[in-house]
Amino acid sequence: MFPIGRGLSIQKGKTEHLSKTEIKYIFVNPGCGDDTEQHTVREWFNRFQIPLEDEFFVSWSKAMIFLSKCLKSIEKNTTEKAMSAIYNALFAGLYLNYDMADDFDSQVQINLESSVQFLQSLSEFNKSVMTPEST
């Protein structure tokens, strides 16, 4: 995609209703080349078979927002060593757990769901351990 970046317009607390129509594009001038070529975002994305209104990007972004919130909550009551193990598990689950012979999109979806479930379980456990009755 370089030199095009993208992001979502997010209102605090309103992530569940994010949609592909809220994707915003950012051009980063790479400062190279002779400026003899010009492309629209649509042309550039079509060249790499990336849809402008990309549901995958929205799903990934929603999952990253959720995971970030969970991690922030878990960090408050967890040791640095335990957090390192959690980050390593998430990294492996999200970025390393792929079979080149299988469909990429379905593997990403499975890995996202597994990572969300993993952090939900940790977050629930963390809350139950830190209740006033347990301290």
The token duo for 91 is 């990294």
In three-state secondary structure terms, 112 is helix
CA distance 18 to 65: 11
The token duo for 34 is 């002779």
- For all residues of the chain together, what is the average pLDDT? 85
Confidence of residue 129 (pLDDT cuts 50, 70, 90): low
Confidence of residue 108 (pLDDT cuts 50, 70, 90): very high
Confidence of residue 112 (pLDDT cuts 50, 70, 90): very high
Confidence of residue 135 (pLDDT cuts 50, 70, 90): very low
88: Cα within 13 Å, side-chain hemisphere = 6
Q: Mean pLDDT over residues 35-50, rounded?
A: 87
Please tell me the predicted confidence (pLDDT) of residue 134.
Answer: 45
Residue 122 has φ and ψ, to the nearest 5°, of -65, -40
What's at 30, amino acid-wise? Answer: P
Could you read off the pLDDT of 15-30 as tens digits, one per residue?
666 777 778 888 888 8
CA distance 49 to 37: 20
Contact predicate 70/117, CB 8 Å: no
